[in-house]
Amino acid sequence: MTDLINLTISEALDKLNKGEISSVDLTRAHIEEMAKGRVLNAYITETPELALEQAKQSDERRRAGRVGLLEGIPVANKDLYCTKGVRTTAASKILSNFVPPYESTVSQKLKDAGSVMLGKLNTDQFAMGGSTLTSYFGATKNPWNLDLVPGGSSGGSAAAVGAGLCMGATGSDTGGSIRQPASFCGVTGIKPTYGRCSRYGIVAFASSLDQAGPMARSVRDCALMLQAMAGYDEKDSTVANVPVPDYTQALSGDIRGKKIGIPKEYRPDGLNPDVAAVWDKGIQFLRDAGAEIVDISLPHTKYALPVYYIVACAEASSNLSRYDGVRYTTRVEGKNLDELYENSRTDGFGDEVVRRILLGTFVLSAGFYDAYYTRAQRVRRLIYNDFVEAFKQVDAILTPAAPTPALSAEALKQMKPVDVYLGDVFTTPASLAGIPGISLPVGLSSNGLPIGLQLLGRHFDESGIFQIADVLEKQANFDKLPRRVKGE
Ligand code: GLN
């Protein structure tokens, strides 16, 4: 059984294709592991019966010769993805009883590819945060060390993938929520280009930034999952109508002559020495593989964090106005309708969500709109232009994914919100520019924690970054499995 939970998706598909294992075997092994791994609090809702039923159906399809791209593979969804008939909470109180009558496009596509759903994964509340500490259902723990956070907001996804509680998971990334938890938990995750995947049925945080993406234990597995998840959808007007290439075809193993940019703005004075060392190692790995390393500049990087927090909060304040205590949310009655709204929202939203609604409402208010929101949009364009210029010189950009390895939950609870936001410094620029970014584990800190590096690419060039990431992964030869948590 342990063997089954240690497989990558591609290894498992191979065994399934050869008839050595069934989807029911694979699914059962993961359900057992989920029970042992409950200490991590990675799942908000487990759906073992549903999973076994889906696994049986998958085995039948396989016998009938109908084999999807992820046929029989047990995966799980971040609890931001609406799943028909399965509670979807966004890790909030206000949606704690919400059972969607419809399925998100991306989770439907994963089903259509033959995968099996094990359950719904923990996240920061409405994906606002980088630790899962803002979840109404309690924080997830990091499988490498239970005192540490798994990162966030897709922390449940990262912890579950890292600990073998699913083979792959969906995440979502608005300002780093796939890439930073991937780094903290030693797994791989890609935020695709804005518009690559449909956002239909994914609880919205900041609509000009939100993007769906996969998290798994190898670059190849992420390529397979994204293949199934990506593509045009008439239900989301922001999804691009561009063909989805065959991502695994891109994994040629050869990156000779590729130009990799190293932006000087990502190496501030006082950068964590362990992070700097892994970054240097990554640069050397790519050089050894025949890539050309080019020093570049992304001059507006320092504005990304404030611009992100203005834009994201502004959009969140608008998106979250739909949770009113009347439709599909928890309700706290009041003397009149206004009081009902106020009571329901006060009771249903956590502190971080309230903070962002207040910030967002402020930057959008009359008299401040131009000074904050309009100006932020202008600076966003400069950040975008920095990348456009850089990609005239280089094929991809290599940076750390996060300024530190995983932090302790206790330390984070003592920090001021603004200091917590600094953790998003390396991920928000690519979010604002809408470009794809992958985070993969490349080394360990001096105290044995995973450190991920981020590879950024041109718009819609996920293939290009998969190709380079695959080589980097092989060079780094990172032990894919964090310390197991069984029985702890
Ligand atoms: N940590 C960032 C934030 O709190 C990013 C969140 C995300 O990407 N969903 O906004």
> Tokens 């971040």 label which residue?
78
78 is catalytic: yes
pLDDT at residue 1 above 60?
A: no
pLDDT tens-digit profile of 92-141? 999 999 999 999 999 999 999 999 999 999 999 999 999 999 999 999 99
* Residue 154, ligand 1, Cβ within 6 A: no
Residue to mutate, 424, 426, 427, ligand 1, most ligand atoms under 8 Å from C-beta:
424
pLDDT of residue 450: 96
Please state the atom number of ligand 1 nearest to the C-alpha of residue 423. Answer: 1
* Residue 153, ligand 1, Cβ within 6 A: yes
Distance set, CA 301 to CA 114, 297, 314, 414 (Å): 41, 9, 21, 27
From the CA of 46, how far away is ligand 1's center (Å)? Answer: 24
The gap from C-alpha 203 to its chain's centroid, in whole angstroms, comes to: 14
Amino acid at 53: E
pLDDT, mean over the chain: 96
* Residue 312, ligand 1, Cβ within 6 A: yes
* Nearest CA, atom 3, ligand 1: 129
* Residue 130, ligand 1, Cβ within 6 A: yes
Q: Among residues 30, 31, 27, 32, which one has the least CA distance to residue 54?
A: 27
- Sorted by sequence, the CB contacts under 8 Å of residue 298 that are 6+ apart come out as 263, 265, 266, 383, 386, 387, 390, 397, 429
The secondary structure element, H or E, covering residue 292 is strand 292-296
pLDDT of residue 486: 47
pLDDT of residue 328: 86
pLDDT of residue 93: 98
* Nearest CA, atom 4, ligand 1: 129
153 is catalytic: yes
> Tokens 């190709």 label which residue?
467
> Tokens 């049986």 label which residue?
56
The secondary structure element, H or E, covering residue 224 is helix 219-229
What percent of the chain lies above the pLDDT cut of 70? Answer: 98
Contact 452, 439 (CB under 8 A): yes
pLDDT tens-digit profile of 393-447? 999 999 999 999 999 999 999 999 999 999 999 999 999 999 999 999 999 999 9
From the CA of 127, how far away is ligand 1's center (Å)? Answer: 6
* Residue 244, ligand 1, Cβ within 6 A: no
pLDDT of residue 488: 46
> Tokens 């967002």 label which residue?
360
The secondary structure element, H or E, covering residue 229 is helix 219-229
Query: How many angstroms separate the CA atoms of 431 and 426, rounded?
Result: 10
Q: Which of 23, 157, 177, 198 is catalytic?
A: 177
* Residue 127, ligand 1, Cβ within 6 A: yes
* Residue 175, ligand 1, Cβ within 6 A: yes
Query: How many angstroms separate the CA atoms of 454 and 439, rounded?
Result: 4
Q: Which of 23, 135, 153, 172 is catalytic?
A: 153
pLDDT tens-digit profile of 253-298? 999 999 999 999 999 999 999 999 999 999 999 999 999 999 999 9
> Tokens 């410094």 label which residue?
425
From the CA of 434, how far away is ligand 1's center (Å)? Answer: 15
pLDDT at residue 487 above 50?
A: no
pLDDT at residue 235 above 70?
A: yes
From the CA of 439, how far away is ligand 1's center (Å)? Answer: 15
Half-sphere exposure of 332 (CA within 13 A, CB side): 12
From the CA of 66, how far away is ligand 1's center (Å)? Answer: 39
pLDDT of residue 481: 62
Q: Among residues 20, 23, 2, 19, which one has the least CA distance to residue 70?
A: 23
pLDDT higher at 488 or 310: 310
Q: Among residues 358, 360, 335, 334, which one has the least CA distance to residue 347?
A: 334
pLDDT of residue 484: 54
Peptide bond into 297 cis (omega under 30): no
Please state the atom number of ligand 1 nearest to the C-alpha of residue 129. Answer: 4
* Whole-prediction pTM: 0.97
pLDDT tens-digit profile of 186-234? 999 999 999 999 999 999 999 999 999 999 999 999 999 999 999 999 9
Angle, vertex CA 341, rays to CA 336 and CA 345, nearest 5: 145
* Residue 181, ligand 1, Cβ within 6 A: no
Sheet order of strands, 168-173 included: 43-46, 116-121, 74-78, 168-173, 211-216, 188-191, 437-444, 450-457, 396-400, 259-263, 292-296
Please state the atom number of ligand 1 nearest to the C-alpha of residue 128. Answer: 4
Contact 394, 296 (CB under 8 A): yes
344 is catalytic: no
Contact 391, 458 (CB under 8 A): yes
Query: How many angstroms separate the CA atoms of 15 and 299, rounded?
Result: 49
* Residue 155, ligand 1, Cβ within 6 A: no
- 3-class secondary-structure state, position 396: strand
Strand partners, 441: 452
* Residue 129, ligand 1, Cβ within 6 A: yes
* Nearest CA, atom 5, ligand 1: 175
Q: Which of 22, 78, 115, 463 is catalytic?
A: 78
pLDDT higher at 475 or 482: 475
Contact 323, 97 (CB under 8 A): no
pLDDT tens-digit profile of 40-86? 999 999 999 999 999 999 999 999 999 999 999 999 999 999 999 99
pLDDT of residue 479: 78
Please state the atom number of ligand 1 nearest to the C-alpha of residue 154. Answer: 9
From the CA of 205, how far away is ligand 1's center (Å)? Answer: 9
